[in-house]
Amino acid sequence: MVLAPRIEIKQSQKLMMNPQMQQAIQLLQLTNVELRDMLAREMEQNPFLAFDAQHYREAGGATEGKPDAAQKQRAVTVQGTSGVGLGADVVAVRVDFSASEPSDTVQRLEQTLADTPSLSAHLIGQIGEEVKSRAQAALALELVGWLDDDGYLRESDAEICAALEVEPSLLSQVLAQVQGFTPVGVFARNLADGLRLQLLAQDGLTPTHAALLENLDLLGRGDLAALAKAAQISPEALPPYLQTIRALDPRPAASFDGQDVGVAQPDIVVLEGESGWQAYLNEASLPSVLVLERDWEEMATRKITDDERKFMKANVQSARWLQKATQQRAATLLRVARAVIGHQQGFLNHGMMALEPLVLRDIAEVLELHESTVSRSANGKLVQTPKGVFYLKDLFSTALTGKSDTAGSGARGRNSKTVSAAAIKARVAQAVSEEIAHVAPLSDEALVALLAEAGIAVARRTVAKYRKSLHIGSSAQRKRAAKIARAAGKPEAKSEAKPS
């Protein structure tokens, strides 16, 4: 058989996405803050695009002529967008430790301090004041970017020296200085080292405290007898030392956490009305787009080249489309938010335990939208509710499916009522927070029984999975933690459930 080429006509359907469709999808998944930042960048490139009403007046809505760069900058600054997108708490810049001039380090410190908020700025300010050596200041500045979220420098000396190509002696000198910075404990190498630095700062480090810090694993296991033996004291003498250690801060950088991420503004606000809770767009954070049609009309009457006319026409068309796209984004977001809030009235009245099962498909069918459109609309959007600020996607939760089995409750059968997974997690968290852990912490089997009393049949392994996702330890772990707390003479800490 001989194979020969042949011409064949085939008909098929394809979705071709032009640049405008791609940008519309991108706009839909942006938060209000991200949208404001994007519009600020577009405004700098498009002379016919106004950011808001004030910029519209400054840029030509009420006066002749186009806005200059200074006007644009003023408009952006007034709206607070000049700092949007700067983020982060990590300084990841390379420094030449040998060739820097004295002024280079100072300029570097000033520039990084201006661009870096919170803990990093706090530490960099101390570097500029306390570290006089050029090479040491440059290395200290580099080490700021190596700190983890707790404020610890986890990497070994060998790893740091190899990565930064510095001598161990220089690293040792710098660490001796920066470990004296505030917050006390920052730049420690681990938890024990951080607690040691705090005790040193309080002039309260005794040999007994040092021995206890060297055996934190015994403290974590709740083996108080072995801990007392390691510290060479009697078990009865432990409580005062444990109280001192418990009063220390295991996360020196924790006080800067909220400042590092900035204050997030909700995209949706939920208010109570006559017919129940209703969702509204947050006008305070929602940017608007205005087109400088007056400028376009004026320019179109002037004698300009074809290329200039083509350029201006493309820009005004782009501005008109962006205005329409942002309006469509706002309308879609509001529709999705109101559909979700309308479905979750029980949650708004009674909390997470009353959250109804809801998936993207449910909202998509009600609004006659594609699931991907609903997903993009809800992704990353914050909603302010009477129960706190949540991500809109947090109000979606799958229904509890399947049957309870013999490994769990010992009974088979469908759940007596449909409950969302999030509501079950909330019930588990509440039950654990109300237990008396040092007497009888609730096992997974006991939690299954409590849920069954509420008409929710669920397997033990499902409860264990939800408990772990909330970062709640097992009953044995909680009992050990309560035992340590009682030995330290502190009120028993409630279990804190954290969503995964």
Q: What percent of the chain has pLDDT over 90?
A: 19
Query: Can you tell me whether residue 106 is helix, strand or coil?
Result: helix
Q: Check whether residue 405 and residue 423 sit in a common domain.
A: yes
Q: Is the pLDDT of residue 90 over 90?
A: no
Tell me, what's the pLDDT at 31?
Answer: 86
The answer to whether the CB of 282 falls within 8 A of the CB of 268 is: yes
Selected residue with higher pLDDT from 225 and 257 = 225
Domain tally, the chain: 3
Q: What are phi and psi of 255, to 5 degrees?
A: -65, -15
Q: Is the pLDDT of residue 362 over 90?
A: yes
Tell whether 403 and 389 lie within a shared domain.
Answer: no
382-385/268-273 β-pairing: parallel
pLDDT value at residue 2? 65
| Per-residue pLDDT, 437 | 65
The residue-averaged pLDDT of 284-299 equals 82
Q: Residues 357, 385: one domain? A: yes
pLDDT given for residue 195 in this prediction: 93
Q: Mean pLDDT throughout 190-215?
A: 91
Question: Is residue 281 domain-shared with residue 345, that is, in the same domain?
Answer: yes
State whether 217 and 273 are in the same domain.
Answer: no
279 and 203 co-located in one domain? no
Helices (H), 182-256: 191-201, 207-213, 216-221, 224-231, 238-246
Rounded mean pLDDT of 20-49? 82
Pick the last residue of a domain from 395, 429, 455. Answer: 395
Residue 468 lies in a domain: yes
Question: The domain containing residue 206 runs over which residues?
Answer: 192-240
Segment 287-297 mean pLDDT: 83
pLDDT digits (tens, 9 = 90+) for 442-497: 888 888 888 888 888 888 888 888 888 888 888 888 887 777 777 766 555 444 45
Give pairs for 52-55: CB < 8 Å, separation 24+.
52/79, 52/287, 52/288, 52/290, 53/288, 53/290, 54/78, 54/79, 55/79, 55/290
CA 478 and chain centroid, separation: 28
What pLDDT, on a 0 to 100 scale, did the predictor assign at position 365?
Answer: 94
Most confident of 72-81, 353-362, 401-410: 353-362
What DSSP state is assigned to residue 397?
A: B
- Residues 407 and 369 occupy one common structural domain: no
Task: Compute the distance between CA of residue 66 and CA of residue 52 in angstroms, rounded to an integer.
Answer: 15
Query: Is residue 403 one of the residues assigned to a domain?
Result: yes
Same domain, 337 and 322: yes
Q: Are residues 464 and 360 in the same domain?
A: no
Quick one: pLDDT band at residue 20, thresholds 50, 70, 90? low
> Is residue 409 in a domain?
yes
Among residues 351, 367, 395, which one ends one of the domains? 395
- List pLDDT tens digits, range 67-88: 343 333 323 222 232 222 223 3
Q: Is the pLDDT of residue 105 over 50?
A: no
pLDDT exceeding 70 applies to what percent of the chain?
A: 76
Tokens of 379: 């992704």
Please state the rounded mean pLDDT for residues 352-357. 87
Out of 379, 395, 411, a domain closes at 395
Judgement on whether residues 382 and 465 belong to the same structural domain of the protein: no
Residue of 209 and 483 predicted with greater confidence: 209
Q: Are residues 408 and 431 in the same domain?
A: yes
The verdict on residue 152 lying in a domain is no
Same domain membership, residue 391 and residue 402: no
Q: Which of 163-177, 289-303, 304-318 bottoms out in mean pLDDT, i.e. has the lowest?
A: 289-303
Domain membership flag for residue 156: no
